[in-house]
A and B are shown apart, each in its own frame.
Chain A
Amino acid sequence: MNEDLNTESTETRKCPVSHQRVLPTDGTPLKPSPTLAEWAKEGKASPLSFTDGHQGWIVTDHALARDLLVDSRFSQLPQRIPGALTQVAFGDQEPDERAEEASRLAGLLAIDGPEHARIRRTILGKFSVRAAKGHEPKVREIVNKQISHLSAIGPGVDLEHEYSNPISTAVHGHVLGIPEHLQDKYYRLFAGDSSQAEKVYFVREVLEIKRLNPDDSVLGEMIKSDLSEVEEEGLAFVLFVSGRDSVAYMITTTTVALLQNPSELEKLRNDSSLIPAAIEEFMRYGAMFLTLFSRTATEDVELQGFRFSKGDSVAVSPVAANRNAQVFPDPNQFDVTRDAFGHLGFGHGIHGCVGQQLARVELRVAIESLISKFPKLRLLEAEQNRPMDFAHPVATYKAGRATVSW
């Protein structure tokens, strides 16, 4: 079946004018794009027009997505974005050549193989299950502080702004090793509006301090490794940016999902031991990434009966794969007791989320505390209930305002 479809679609691909299929914007985090669901019914992958106009593929099937993400015949290069905006790293505001070089060398999501592995390895140990567990007391302290903040300013608050973002930023800053006195600035620049140049200069400022006193934080560990200064800067930039917004997104989106599905929330309130496993369902159901960074086939590849030609751009869709009915029965049902392991909410393979264990701890503590401290929590409005612009050039959903009271 796929071969037929593939042949047909390959024909389609040669005729870019008549069948423009761009990433659909009709979805929301909890009710992902109906268009994408239609595509998923057509086959394991569908043709997709990328922003630069070239034709590639979007993978919607779960098994194909997982196989593809661990297949070394697919490269992260050249990095092409399926979403709406232009470039990932430095856009039109390049601070200087060094920053550009740093982003090229250590933009971990845009390099392959041994070079990628070498850089990723320098920080991998800092994100292990054990390391994440070690951060739990600090995460709890940060969450408690934010709960007190809510109590002080509430009962009406915007959860994303007053809870999720402050927590994810504080944990991120703590784990990376951003000095205490620069945490506020980190929040301002990276959770607020700032230029690319401001961010780069901030990364350098922090690295200068860490070089004088390399501690056992992530940045400290990186400084002690054998990376060049330019590589350090690039890696640090990626770490400063990545994951912080995603964790905040997940805290907000999960809360919205729970408040809109009161019976599921009740289950967790009655038995908090369900929460650790429920994290996987949160990640499956509220997946942020409509597609990951696209891969390029470096040779002709056949996977799961689907043929990709050398040079094909392939964008894997966690959102679509996570709603695959074969793997997750009744996939549009939010079910905190289901076995959701195998979801692609953190990606998969060598480029999968390096901070996922930490993210699990943050999400668990943040949700657990919120629902236990505010037994009457209710959702007044969630901006994310209607389609918004993508949050990022890689086509991710945004959490948006979530106005709650209690």
Chain B
Amino acid sequence: MAGLTAAETLREQGYKGSVTIIGSESELPYQRPPLSKQFLSGQWGEERVQLTSKKRLEDLGISFHMGVTAERLDPSEAQVFTSAGTFDYEHLLIATGAKARTLTGISSEVQVSYLRQLDDAKNLKSAIKADGQILIIGAGVLGSEMAATLAQLGHRVTLVGNFPHPRLGADLEILSKAATRILLDLGVELQMDCTVEELSGSPLGTLAVLSNGFEVVADLVIGAVGSVPNVSWLHGSGLDTSNGILCDATGRAASGIYAVGDVACWNSSPKEASRIEHQMMAIGQAASVGTLIVTGKPSDLPVPYFWSELANHRALILGEVGADSEVEVIAGSEDSLKFLAVAKSKGQLKGLVGLNMPKEFRSMRPVVEKAIRANQGERRY
């Protein structure tokens, strides 16, 4: 997504040089957010998640190498070594994303599935048994979404999370409570505030022993415990990859080298650098770097924005919200699972959160976005 956006931006801005995209996956660029929802549920086929076509890439003069893995970077020679030979570059944009964090300390007879890529989603779909028990470990946005999707399809699902409530991407009580109700209504068994102490094989299936004493026997175990930036190939490149690729506020990691999307850690405010793993931010960063390379000036980044879907419920989140946000419901109500709320910090507007009120959210969004921008101080999103 980010790589493709950057390439398209370069062309839009009038870049005349050659543009090459190297991708390790065996598909053209696709959207990730639907994988845990519409694609997993079978509502959407593969063609709906695809972002571009060979024809379009040819028309834009973008050369695309599928199934090619970057293996090493040599900045001094401006060369990338890959599974298909060496590529020289003038500008290098790294958008290698992140991979699923894997569960550790598990006996070898236990199979754990993860969902990150289109292949994973396809494998997951074929691994689901009609009347099986599914155990999902990790109750963040991905785990919660998968739990809702699978429960809606009629599967028995247990969701384990190590905090008190499932989280929909932002640690907001109002959203966590709503997610809890929605998941319980769908028949998901919630095991919260606990961890998995042991996973082992048993004649009936995988046996999971939870820290609260409960045991679950599952036919399918899915891990959703976060992500790890794909930076191992950059070992020895000299780039700081301690938490993704450290970049300045415009995405520059080193002379002629940029990073965007899940793999990038932009120093977006003087005080902190952060990795923001949202599709909209990846697109914004990629467009900004593409513009920077051509014009010398970065384009504005979007105010953080993302959404989550639990079965038919849709949550929209704008801005910077977290556990310390002061949340005020301005329309609808928590009880009805239909609300619009603003998030403030010290009286200043910082975010907008909506559940099942898309029209109202759309109408409020511009003015709240304007206020968030005005309140963002030195932070460059």
The range of chain B's interface size is 10 to 19
CA–CA, A381 and B330, complex, Å: 12
Contact check, A401 vs B360: say whether CB atoms are below 8 A apart: no
The complex places the Cα of A158 from the Cα of B364 at a distance, in Å, of 10
Determine the chain A residues whose CB is within 8 A of the CB of B370 once the complex forms. Answer: 158, 401, 403
Asked whether B364 lies within 8 Å of A381 as measured between CB atoms, the reply is no
The answer, yes or no, to whether A378 is at the interface (CB within 8 Å) is yes
Contacts of A405 in B (CB 8 A): 330-331, 364
Closest CB of chain A to B342's CB: distance in Å? Answer: 5
A381 to B342 Cα, complex, angstroms: 10
Q: What separation, in Å, do the CA atoms of A405 and B363 have in the docked complex?
A: 10
Contact partner of A383 (CB less than 8 A), chosen from B328, B364, B367, B374, is B374
CA distance A153 to B366 in the complex (A): 10
In the complex, are the beta carbons of A401 and B342 less than 8 A apart?
Answer: no
* Given A155-B331, A380-B342; A403-B349 close (CB under 8 Å): yes
Is B367's CB under 8 angstroms from A158's CB?
Answer: yes
The smallest beta-carbon distance between B91 and chain A, in angstroms, is: 36
Is B344 engaged at the interface, CB distance under 8 Å to the other chain? yes
0 or 1 for each of B339-380: is its CB under 8 Å from A? (1 = yes): 000101001110000000000100111111011001000000
Once A155-B363, A156-B363 are accepted as A-B contacts, the answer to whether A403 and B330 lie under 8 Å apart by CB is: no
Contact of B348 among A154, A155, A157, A381 (CB under 8 A): A381
From the candidates B328, B347, B349, B360, name the one contacting A155 in the complex (CB within 8 A).
B360
Q: Are B366 and A156 in contact (CB under 8 A)?
A: yes
Contacts of A386 in B (CB 8 A): 347
Q: Which residues of chain A come closer than 8 Å to B344, judged between CB atoms?
A: 381
Inside 8 A of A383's CB, which chain B residues have their CB?
371, 374
Chain B contacts for A157, CB-based, 8 A: 367
The complex places the Cα of A403 from the Cα of B319 at a distance, in Å, of: 16
Considering only residues 140-154 of chain A, those with a C-beta below 8 Å from chain B are 153-154
Report how many residues on chain A are interfacial, defined by Cβ distance under 8 Å.
Answer: 15
* Contact, CB under 8 Å: A381 / B347: yes
Complex alpha-carbon distance, A154 and B367, angstroms:
9
B-contact 0/1 string along A244-259, CB 8 Å cutoff: 0000000000000000
Scoring A156, A157, A385 by chain B CB atoms within 10 A of each residue's CB, the highest score goes to A156
A383 to B331, CA, bound (A): 22
Report chain B residues within 8 Å CB of A155: 331, 360, 363-364
Question: In the bound complex, how far is the Cα of B364 from the Cα of A403, in angstroms?
Answer: 10
Nearest chain-A residue to B330 (Cβ)?
Answer: A405
The minimal Cβ–Cβ distance linking B309 to chain A, given in whole angstroms, is 23
From A154, A156, A378, A401, give the contact of B374 (CB < 8 A): A401
Q: Which residue of B lies closest to A380 (CB)?
A: B342
In the bound complex, residues from chain B placing their C-beta under 8 Å from that of A153 are 363
> Which residues of A from 351 to 382 have beta carbons under 8 Å from B?
378, 380-381
Q: Are B363 and A403 in contact, CB atoms less than 8 angstroms apart? A: no
The smallest C-beta distance from A2 to any residue of chain B, in angstroms, reads 40
A403 to B366, CA, bound (A): 11
Give every chain A residue within 8 A of B368 (Cβ-Cβ). 156, 380, 403
Closest to B347 in A: A385
Q: Which residues from chain A contact B348 at a C-beta distance below 8 Å?
A: 381
Instruction: Note all chain B residues with C-beta closer than 8 A to A156.
Output: 363-368
Q: Do A381 and B349 form a contact, CB below 8 Å, given A155-B331, A156-B368, A401-B374?
A: yes
Least Cβ distance of A376 to chain B in Å? 9
Interface string of A143-175 (1 = CB under 8 A from B): 000000000011111100000000000000000
Cross-interface CB contact of B367 among A378, A385, A403, cutoff 8 Å = A403
* Residue-wise interface mask of A (98-118) relative to B, using a CB-CB cutoff of 8 A (1 in contact, 0 not): 000000000000000000000
A158 to B375, CA, bound (A): 14
Within the complex, the shortest CB–CB distance from B324 to chain A, in Å, comes to 17
Indicate if the CB atoms of A378 and B371 lie closer than 8 Å. Answer: no
Cα(A156)–Cα(B368), bound, Å: 8
A380 to B364, CA, bound (A): 11
Specify the chain A residue showing the minimal Cβ separation from B344: A381
CA distance A194 to B313 in the complex (A): 47
Interface residues of B in 94-139 (CB under 8 A from A): none
Q: Name the CB-closest residue of B to A382.
A: B347
Q: How far is the CB of B168 from chain A (nearest CB, A)?
A: 22
Q: What is the bound-complex CA distance between A353 and B348, given in angstroms?
A: 34
Closest to A159 in B: B367
Q: Which residue of B lies closest to A383 (CB)?
A: B374
Q: Which residues of B contact A378 (CB under 8 A)?
A: 330
**Nearest chain A residue, comparing its CB with the CB of B346:** A386
A385-406 CB mask vs B (1 if < 8 Å, else 0) is: 1100000000000000101010
Question: CA A385 – CA B346 in complex, angstroms?
Answer: 11
Chain A residue contacts of B331, Cβ below 8 A? 155, 405
Asked if B360 and A381 sit within 8 Å, CB to CB, the answer is no
Nearest 7 CB-CB pairings of A with B:
A156-B364, A156-B367, A381-B349, A403-B371, A405-B330, A380-B342, A158-B367
Q: List 6 A-B contacts (CB under 8 A).
A: A155-B360, A381-B344, A381-B371, A383-B371, A385-B347, A405-B364
Having A153-B363, A381-B344, A405-B330, one finds 20 other A-B pairs with CB under 8 Å, namely A154-B363, A155-B331, A155-B363, A156-B364, A156-B366, A157-B367, A158-B367, A158-B371, A378-B330, A380-B328, A380-B330, A380-B349, A380-B371, A381-B349, A383-B371, A386-B347, A401-B370, A401-B371, A403-B349, A405-B364
